[in-house]
Structure 1
Amino acid sequence: MGYLDRKIADLYQYTPELTAPEDLHLYWSKTLEQLSQRGSVAAERQQVSTTMRGVQAYQVNYQGYDETKVSGWYLIPSMWKENTYPCVVLFHGYAGSSGLPESYAPWLLAGIAVFAIDLRGQTGSTGDLLPQEGGMAKGWITKGIDDKDSCYYKALVIDCLRAVDWAAEQPEIDPSRIGVAGASQGGGLAMIVSALSRKPAFAIADIPNMCHMDWGIFHSTGSLTEAADYVSQYPDRWEKVMRTLSYFDNMNLADRIEIPILVSVSLKDPVCMPETVFAAYNRIESDKELHIYPFRGHSTGEKHLRKVLEFAQRQVGR
């Protein structure tokens, strides 16, 4: 057995000790109950023009975790002339945005509607009204990171859960055929939403972050460097920071996933390292498939898109 075969075999056996706090599931039960009591998602949508023929495009603003209005593109492939459509809710990578409606043409041509949101405070159209009571490292993830109830991750995750709720309420969408998807930060969010919400029917988590974060904070060259910088300035807050992150770590929540999920991993990825992805993937108990790219870094390559679309189409009966 060569090096690569041994490495992959070892990764499939990699199940590090969980970092889940004792009240993890109680915390999320209470949080989700509070969320359900809010009822329908307050939102407005306005039709906009697009270069794509046969597509209805809307700019949407909905109320997320707090008073922040989360912005997104809602795109309907009306050229297929169906009464209702399956829908994928898409989350972008860290420091990115939802881009332009035309970016989602492959999904629309596959017969799947799209709701792609701008994550709070990042480079899209969504602001961030989350209070900031202390200092933070550059970026966003260390905002309120000393406490699970005031941190950026909580607001971010709830924004994403509300996006799925909003999509399920739209008259053009079949609520039984909604999926969540994204890459890197977006893949991590797709994974945690699929663990916490029972509305998605499938999930696609490409090179996901938010996995095995206690390991990642020491090794990642991505967003977790912000948390590392923060605790280097405040070493006495190390335990608080790690406890907060543990509530949002997909490794700790993976066994809650009950839907089919596609995951991808790149073995030379310095941002979402293979150890972190496998730590979460190996604990998923639902129907799952993994696509491994041994010689890629923080990417999967354009050919992976076909695998993603084929997976989604199988789940929604296309």
Structure 2
Amino acid sequence: MPLIDMPLEELKKYEGRTPKPADFDAYWDRALAEMKAVDAQVELVKADFQVPFAECYHLYFTGVRGARVHAKYLKPLHTEGKHPAIVQFHGYTGNSGDWNDKLNYVALGFSVLSLDCRGQGGLSEDTGGVKGTTHHGHIIRGLNDHEDRLLFRDIFLDCAQLAGIAMELPEVDPGRVGAMGGSQGGGLTLACAALEPRIKKLAPIFPFLCDYRRVWEMDLAKDAYGELRTFFRNHDPQHEREEEIFERLGYIDVQHLASRIRGEVLMAVGLMDTICPPSTQFAAYNKITAEKRLEIFPDFGHDHLPGFNDKTMQFLAQL
């Protein structure tokens, strides 16, 4: 089998290259305290899209730094008692997608909450300078500022806050909430379950936002990670601050959050992935101490992994 990364046996032992800041746990404890102090002001607005077996809403809430954050919310009709829910996260620069592609889980009796990441392709605000959107450059946002200004800190908190909102909905059983997503959505699934450890089951696919230094050393700081190269070229062309920059990126490196996860994990990786290299994904997976299973696709990269969506549904349906 051709290799674009380490041999599989080395991947299974790989622990990552991006340094973990000494105050990492205090950093996230402080961030969570800020999130919990926010008055979410949850608002439901009935959507134009409706189907006979579900109600569909735009859900808005206030996140940290005052941003109004949007998610699609679909809940099943004709169910008795409280039912399970799933929070979903999308790929980098994208959005929550169409209403109809969430109806398979609604038909199973789940409420579905699908986040628009702040400042990307959906309806959520980025309040970092102007209200509205910024679309891209979110990994490097805040690298020259205080570490609390890193934008992915706020996005990770939005994910955890949305999961908490789902658990407080009167129709949802808070003990039966899952999370799922691919690429950026996979990284956010891991971050969400780390920061909201009541998440019971999670199904990340080839997670982004893991082990930035390894991406750099593999010369794969392009495509989704291209802003890392742009940042160095524009702001540190001789890499005089390289150690400082990668340590600061460690605050928003999902691998360092992974040990906080308590829910059961079903994860998928393609060993030919040149967008989110396999080693970066293993860096996170290997740090998960909860019950976990990894589905490996040797000949696939950052694309559709045949059969994994079916396995994900069967896994989450156990909720």
1:153 aligned partner, one-letter code: F
Q: Secondary structure at the match of 1:211?
A: coil
CA distance in 1, matches of 2:198, 2:310: 24
Q: Secondary structure at the match of 2:7?
A: helix
Asked if the contact 2:180–2:189 (Cα under 8 Å) also holds between the matched residues in 1, the reply is: yes
TM-score (norm 2): 0.90
Q: Secondary structure at the match of 1:223?
A: helix
Shift of 1:220: 4.3
Q: Which residue of 2 aligns with 1:251?
A: 255
CA distance in 2, matches of 1:137, 1:124: 9
Q: RMSD across aligned C-alpha pairs, in angstroms?
A: 2.2
2:91 aligned partner, one-letter code: G
Q: Which residue of 1 aligns with 2:227?
A: 226
Q: Which residue of 2 aligns with 1:9?
A: 9
Q: Secondary structure at the match of 1:140?
A: coil
CA distance in 1, matches of 2:292, 2:223: 26
Q: Secondary structure at the match of 1:66?
A: helix
The 3 A distance-change label for structure 1 pair 45 and 288 is same
Asked if the contact 1:97–1:118 (Cα under 8 Å) also holds between the matched residues in 2, the reply is: yes
The 3 A distance-change label for structure 1 pair 237 and 152 is farther
Q: Which residue of 2 aligns with 1:35?
A: 35
Q: Which residue of 2 aligns with 1:164?
A: 163
Shift of 1:36: 2.3
Q: Secondary structure at the match of 1:87?
A: strand
Q: Which residue of 1 aligns with 2:142?
A: 144
Q: Secondary structure at the match of 1:71?
A: strand
Shift of 1:17: 5.0
Q: Which residue of 2 aligns with 1:195?
A: 194
The 3 A distance-change label for structure 1 pair 17 and 127 is closer
The 3 A distance-change label for structure 1 pair 302 and 47 is farther
Q: Secondary structure at the match of 1:271?
A: coil
Cα deviations across residues 254-283 of structure 1 (Å, max 9, x unaligned)?
Answer: 222221111110111111111111111112
Q: Which residue of 2 aligns with 1:275?
A: 279
TM alignment of 1:276-291, pairs within 5 A: 276-291=280-295
Q: Which residue of 2 aligns with 1:131?
A: 129
1:285 aligned partner, one-letter code: T
Asked if the contact 2:92–2:224 (Cα under 8 Å) also holds between the matched residues in 1, the reply is: yes
Q: Which residue of 2 aligns with 1:205?
A: 204
The 3 A distance-change label for structure 1 pair 88 and 31 is same
* Structure 2 gaps, min length 5: none
TM alignment of 1:38-57, pairs within 5 A: 38=38, 41-57=40-56
Q: Secondary structure at the match of 1:129?
A: coil
CA distance in 2, matches of 1:267, 1:25: 31
Shift of 1:48: 1.9
Shift of 1:168: 1.4
Q: Which residue of 2 aligns with 1:64?
A: 63
* Structure 1 gaps, min length 5: none
Asked if the contact 1:94–1:223 (Cα under 8 Å) also holds between the matched residues in 2, the reply is: yes
Shift of 1:52: 2.9
Asked if the contact 2:197–2:261 (Cα under 8 Å) also holds between the matched residues in 1, the reply is: no
Asked if the contact 1:64–1:70 (Cα under 8 Å) also holds between the matched residues in 2, the reply is: yes
Shift of 1:232: 1.6
Asked if the contact 2:179–2:193 (Cα under 8 Å) also holds between the matched residues in 1, the reply is: yes
CA distance in 2, matches of 1:301, 1:52: 29
Asked if the contact 1:220–1:272 (Cα under 8 Å) also holds between the matched residues in 2, the reply is: no
The 3 A distance-change label for structure 1 pair 229 and 17 is closer
1:311 and 2:315 matched: yes
Q: Which residue of 1 aligns with 2:172?
A: 173
Percentage of identical aligned residues: 29
Deviates more, 1:67-76 or 1:45-54: 45-54
TM alignment of 1:93-132, pairs within 5 A: 93-131=91-129
Asked if the contact 1:86–1:174 (Cα under 8 Å) also holds between the matched residues in 2, the reply is: yes
The 3 A distance-change label for structure 1 pair 313 and 282 is same
Shift of 1:51: 4.9
1:303 aligned partner, one-letter code: G
CA distance in 2, matches of 1:172, 1:143: 37
Q: Which residue of 2 aligns with 1:76?
A: 75
TM-score (norm 1): 0.90
CA distance in 2, matches of 1:275, 1:286: 20
1:140 aligned partner, one-letter code: H
Q: Work out which structure has the larger RCO, using CA pairs closer than 8 Å and 6 or more positions apart in sequence.
A: 2
How many corresponding residue pairs?
308
